[in-house]
Chain A
Amino acid sequence: MAKKKGSGVIVVKVALWYITILSIFAAYTNWLPQIRGDAPEAAEAIDVSAITPEGLQEMGGMIIFGTDDPLGTLARGEGPIGKGQCPLCHRFFMEQKADRCPNLIALKTEPQLLLQVSEEERSHERVKEPRYEEFKKLHADGEKNSGHVPHAETGGQYLIESEYCPNCFVVEGFGLKGTNDTESPMPIINKPPILLVDTEIVAVVSFLQMRDDPTKWTAKDDWEAYFGKDLASEGGDEAPAEVKPAGPPVALGSETPEEIVTKMTCYACHKIPGISVAKTGAIGPLLIEGTNAPNRIKSPEYKAAMKAGTAHATTAREYIIESIMDPGAFIVPGFADDMMKDFKHKFTVSGLDVLVDHLIAQDEAAALADGLDRLANEKEGPIKKPEAKVETGEAFAKNQSKTNEMTIQVSNKKLIENSTFIGLN
């Protein structure tokens, strides 16, 4: 009996010792930060036309960080990791430790950083590097994992290409060990395990492009130029029905330029050829961007704005987008900075496309055909040359007396008397 009792006491003591140790271990794990890793939502076909570029940027941020407050998450000692898992390797903030892949720190948030170029700017340089040509040769028959042949022409296309085909160009010093920087450690983003869909990749690139400068957004155009097809056609045979976002009026891709101009009330300030309601606006310049935009980006005033870091466009299309999304980036000489600043919240990607396509197609001839001309304070001067005044003066005088308005309906054969028109304004 005594022996049994002795063993029993030892069993109890050992059991208590075990329970104490196990309780300490369990308590310790409960004291450490508790992070639950939720499975990412299955990717759904997203109607890109129903989202504003700013919305795409936000979406890209969520894909990258999984939170709208990545810095706050970092400060709590957690890693802001979204379904894209980008911050595992790329460094987005100074507070973050990640140096396995090129850093993607925003200049705005980290002005003290020695690196004086943004990822968006750097992306343009990548495709110009001689190494890019070497990669083109290396993968001339298609890169083995993705099947892509490197063919990016712009920075935006390069960013798109990097997601679908990380091996199409590997930044020096960031290749897999032993591959002489010809193989990237980055997974193909549209394949498992990341498995982003096309629109999500466009959203990520939008985030990168707009992070430092909201006017630098070209992601959708880059995607379409890179793949040579319409982004909206992805996600199956049936394109998803366009969703009308709630809230303030938003320009949609399904609308005509006339409807967009009406909805956004552009006509209140601008005259636009081809838009029936926009014939009287006299606060902003005549919108013939096929003529204006290429000249404006070459102008010394625009170059000064670029130097000052406010303007960034290098193409006509970029200039128009910049003017809509960030009207303060460059003020056309002779005008005040009084254009509304909230259009970036109101244009869907496809809606913006519709309007930009229309504006870039308008030139002096179209304006003349529509009986429109520049305002007096536009530096470029009237489209209708002064010598034409004699020939058309009668017609103008007739119209002027009839309507006493700033808009003139003219027949195809008649021209506007510019000097008189300007004088009325």
Chain B
Amino acid sequence: MLNLSGEKKKKVGAWLLLSMIGMLVLLPFAPAVVMAAEEAAVEEAKEPEKAKDVFYKEEGEFGIVSGPPAGELVYPDDYGSYGDFQSRTIIWISNQQHLYFGSFVLAVPMFVWVMELIGILQYEKNPKVGKKFDDLAHEMMKISLTAYSVTAILGGILIFSFLALYPGFFRYLSGIFKPVMHIYALLFILESGVLYVYYYGWDSMNDGNGDWKWSHLSLGTILNAVGIVLMVMANTWVSFMMSPAGVDAEGRFLGDIWKVMHNPLMVPVVVHRILGNAAFGGGVVAAYASFKFLSAKTLEEKAHYDWMSYIAMFMGILALIPLPFAGYWLMREIYAYRQQMGITLMGGLLAWVFIMQATMIATLFITVNYYLFQAMGRMPGSERYYKYFKVLLAILVVATIAWLTPHTLVMTPAELKAMGGAQHPVVGNYGVMSAKNTAINTMITTTVVSFIIYQRSNFKLTVPWAWKGNIFLAMLILGAEVNILFLGVYGYFIPANVRIGLSVPQVASTLSVLFIGVAVNTKMLKGAESIGEIRWGKMSVRGAYALFMLAVAFTWTMAVMGYLRSSVRLHWHVNEILRDNSPWAFTNPLGYAGNINSLNVLLFWTMLLFVFWLSALAGAGKKKVEAEEAAAAAVGKAVPAGSH
């Protein structure tokens, strides 16, 4: 057993543990080394056939044929079904559920790591605050642990669904990814091992801010690193299906698994996914905390969960703000990969889905602002800023309307005739990209302004340069917005290929407000006089329900974007390589997707409720034991002291 008494022993123990983890990290790569040796032996034995890569050009254009062609899938031989039910919908639901839980268990450790780090750093200054953050991290981890098992079960269901319903497709994809399939499985084992040590070692390794605590945080680092590698690997399958590489035109594997994984859309999809996961994780934890806030019976409990929901929401929003820019980048890469794929998304078959996406993003931003306005109710002195809410809300509503205006409208023939076309002569102008970019940048800028106000709402500035800082902030925000508007209008007068470049300076303006604005505001708050402490636990019930809305909007947005990403392959399992020859090769209309998405979200939250209940059950059991122990201790002490 661990003996924590000696300082040296602690250090040795910590290093031993880290070394073990380090070796475990290297373990998954052993099969790859063996396989590489086997492949080299096979290569020497016969003259290899070379073929041209479907994506890589010039250097690395040709590779050694190392697998069978994708061939033609035949229905019903290569597909399975349960009666008349769409097999694809079954895969859709099992995939989405696995993805939700997978995202959650990968996102939560990211938060936990940040919270634990803050806790350690705060410990020296204020142990109470340090412990507060540490407890928060621990509680988040507890939820994640139960969700982890559900993720594994859903992963199993997904694989069985593939084997039963899409055996031909699964055979091909697993054939391509054969060199890394077991690495993935071993990493999963490693992830589980690290997770359990991390969670169950939380209390025993907690020595405030000592070596054991830092070692524990290192475990958290490894946990997150392995989690991200797992997510990247799973993403490479998806991005390979969208934009295959490392295979020839017949779909034959060309021997280099890195080229398969490092396909043209891999990096932007991964970046988008990490940010999306973080935002989603924040939303889920915020909803959990809101639920606990509403059901808390004591002010202390309420204060804790009010604070927890705010922190989770804040972390989620931090990830949400760069998400649209990651989205632009992904879309740009899609256009660069296949222009018609980009246009199918933005101006073709799937264009209406973006109206739905726009609705979700608008919902997210309006909800966040609404939450901040509500949250200011617990900030003494925030009344000074209430008058600005109306203006901010008006800007958000106008931006949302522009953001939601479709390019063409749904009309009856009579309406169509009266208007002279599907595009309205005035309103139609807001249906183009210039207006959309302007709207979203305005919405983000407005949200940053709300946050700046929130930051300073219970403070009175004391720095001598406060007035200069205020003028600078006002000029920064105003200048950025003028630039965003000007570029938006200018976009109408230039061709599309030039116009697309305007999004960069627009985004730069928004990011300037975000980074420079928040930094200057934080600097201005240094040494500021507090009007009153934040009254944690006093947030309105509406604020808590806003966070539920936020969580649902996050999950629904993930679902609709998943439908979009998957549908853009149209009738291909693997774009341009393996055609979908099943009866479900068509792209479902948006309404059907909306129904399945809502079902998926409901299913996820129902299961999550079960997970919350489980963790509460464990917590309740622990509290009961602690209470009994405390009672017993009290009795034991009372007897010698009291009765004699």
Binding site for B on A (CB under 8 A): 3, 6-7, 10-11, 14, 17-19, 21-23, 25-30, 32-40, 74-77, 79, 81, 85, 88-89, 95, 97-100, 144, 176-177, 185-187, 191-194
Beta-carbon nearest neighbor of A27 in chain B = B594
The interface residues of chain A lying within 8 Å CB-to-CB of B587 are: 36-38
List B561-603 residues whose CB lies under 8 Å from chain A. 567, 570-572, 575-577, 580, 585-591, 593-595, 597-598, 601-602
Given contacts A29-B590, A95-B422, contact A18 B548 (CB under 8 A): yes
**Which among A32, A38, A89, A186 has the highest number of chain B CB atoms within 10 Å?**
A32
Q: How near does chain B come to A340, taking the closest CB pair, in angstroms?
A: 38
Q: Are B297 and A3 in contact (CB-based, < 8 A)?
A: yes
Given A23-B598, A29-B591, A85-B340, 10 extra CB contacts under 8 A: A25-B594, A25-B597, A29-B356, A38-B586, A79-B347, A85-B348, A88-B344, A99-B495, A144-B57, A185-B339
Q: At the interface, is chain B mostly helix, strand, loop or mixed?
A: helix
Q: Are B552 and A75 in contact (CB-based, < 8 A)?
A: no
Beta-carbon nearest neighbor of B575 in chain A = A193
The interface residues of chain B lying within 8 Å CB-to-CB of A36 are: 586-589
Q: Are A100 and B343 in contact (CB-based, < 8 A)?
A: yes
- Cα(A27)–Cα(B590), bound, Å: 11
The interface residues of chain A lying within 8 Å CB-to-CB of B570 are: 37, 39, 193
- Cα(A37)–Cα(B352), bound, Å: 13
B residues contacting the other copy or chain, number (CB 8 A): 66
Per-residue contact bits, chain B 595-613, to A (CB 8 Å; 1 contact, 0 not): 1011001100100010000
Residue of A18, A26, A89, A193 touching B343 (CB-CB under 8 A): A89
Residue of A21, A34, A75 touching B549 (CB-CB under 8 A): A21
Q: Are B422 and A10 in contact (CB-based, < 8 A)?
A: no
Q: Are A192 and B577 in contact (CB-based, < 8 A)?
A: yes
Q: Are B602 and A22 in contact (CB-based, < 8 A)?
A: yes
Q: Are A75 and B416 in contact (CB-based, < 8 A)?
A: yes
- Cα(A100)–Cα(B346), bound, Å: 13
B643 CB within 8 Å of chain A? no
Q: Are A10 and B590 in contact (CB-based, < 8 A)?
A: no
Q: Are A88 and B410 in contact (CB-based, < 8 A)?
A: no
B497 CB within 8 Å of chain A? yes
Q: Are A32 and B410 in contact (CB-based, < 8 A)?
A: yes
- Cα(A251)–Cα(B281), bound, Å: 69
- Cα(A364)–Cα(B605), bound, Å: 88
Q: Are A81 and B422 in contact (CB-based, < 8 A)?
A: no
Q: How near does chain B come to A190, taking the closest CB pair, in angstroms?
A: 12
12 inter-chain pairs at a CB distance below 8 angstroms, sorted by A residue, are: A10-B291, A18-B601, A18-B602, A18-B605, A19-B602, A22-B598, A37-B586, A39-B580, A88-B347, A99-B495, A185-B339, A192-B575
Q: Are B422 and A77 in contact (CB-based, < 8 A)?
A: yes
Q: Are A33 and B352 in contact (CB-based, < 8 A)?
A: yes
Residue of B291, B421, B586 touching A14 (CB-CB under 8 A): B291
- Cα(A275)–Cα(B427), bound, Å: 66
Given contacts A30-B594, A77-B411, contact A187 B340 (CB under 8 A): yes
The interface residues of chain A lying within 8 Å CB-to-CB of B421 are: 75, 95
Q: Are A28 and B594 in contact (CB-based, < 8 A)?
A: yes
Beta-carbon nearest neighbor of B411 in chain A = A77
Residue of A22, A79, A176 touching B556 (CB-CB under 8 A): A22
Q: How near does chain B come to A186, taking the closest CB pair, in angstroms?
A: 8
The interface residues of chain A lying within 8 Å CB-to-CB of B553 are: 21
- Cα(A97)–Cα(B431), bound, Å: 12
- Cα(A27)–Cα(B548), bound, Å: 19
The interface residues of chain B lying within 8 Å CB-to-CB of A39 are: 570-571, 580, 585-586
The interface residues of chain A lying within 8 Å CB-to-CB of B545 are: 17
B407 CB within 8 Å of chain A? yes
Q: Are B422 and A74 in contact (CB-based, < 8 A)?
A: yes
- Cα(A286)–Cα(B8), bound, Å: 114
Given contacts A22-B601, A40-B571, contact A17 B356 (CB under 8 A): no
**Which among B349, B556, B567, B591 has the highest number of chain A CB atoms within 10 Å?**
B591
**Which among A19, A74, A193 has the highest number of chain B CB atoms within 10 Å?**
A193
B355 CB within 8 Å of chain A? yes
Q: Are B343 and A88 in contact (CB-based, < 8 A)?
A: yes
The interface residues of chain B lying within 8 Å CB-to-CB of A79 are: 347-349, 351
Q: Are A187 and B416 in contact (CB-based, < 8 A)?
A: no
The interface residues of chain A lying within 8 Å CB-to-CB of B580 are: 39
Q: Are A34 and B589 in contact (CB-based, < 8 A)?
A: yes
B126 CB within 8 Å of chain A? no
Residue of B57, B344, B594 touching A26 (CB-CB under 8 A): B594
- Cα(A219)–Cα(B264), bound, Å: 37
The interface residues of chain A lying within 8 Å CB-to-CB of B638 are: none
B235 CB within 8 Å of chain A? no
Q: Are B416 and A32 in contact (CB-based, < 8 A)?
A: no
Q: Are B339 and A100 in contact (CB-based, < 8 A)?
A: yes
The interface residues of chain B lying within 8 Å CB-to-CB of A10 are: 291, 294-295
The interface residues of chain A lying within 8 Å CB-to-CB of B423 are: 95
Q: Are A35 and B589 in contact (CB-based, < 8 A)?
A: yes
B496 CB within 8 Å of chain A? yes
Q: Are A75 and B422 in contact (CB-based, < 8 A)?
A: yes
- Cα(A177)–Cα(B495), bound, Å: 14
Q: How near does chain A come to B566, taking the closest CB pair, in angstroms?
A: 12
Beta-carbon nearest neighbor of B293 in chain A = A10
The interface residues of chain A lying within 8 Å CB-to-CB of B351 are: 79
The interface residues of chain B lying within 8 Å CB-to-CB of A74 are: 422
The interface residues of chain A lying within 8 Å CB-to-CB of B552 are: 18, 21-22
- Cα(A85)–Cα(B416), bound, Å: 25
B299 CB within 8 Å of chain A? no
**Which among A23, A28, A29 has the highest number of chain B CB atoms within 10 Å?**
A29
- Cα(A235)–Cα(B603), bound, Å: 50
Q: How near does chain B come to A95, taking the closest CB pair, in angstroms?
A: 6
Q: How near does chain A come to B371, taking the closest CB pair, in angstroms?
A: 15
Q: How near does chain A come to B295, taking the closest CB pair, in angstroms?
A: 5
Q: Are A193 and B590 in contact (CB-based, < 8 A)?
A: no
B42 CB within 8 Å of chain A? no
Q: Are A30 and B591 in contact (CB-based, < 8 A)?
A: yes
The interface residues of chain B lying within 8 Å CB-to-CB of A185 are: 339
B183 CB within 8 Å of chain A? no
- Cα(A33)–Cα(B316), bound, Å: 32
B206 CB within 8 Å of chain A? no
Q: How near does chain B come to A389, taking the closest CB pair, in angstroms?
A: 70
Q: Are B408 and A77 in contact (CB-based, < 8 A)?
A: yes
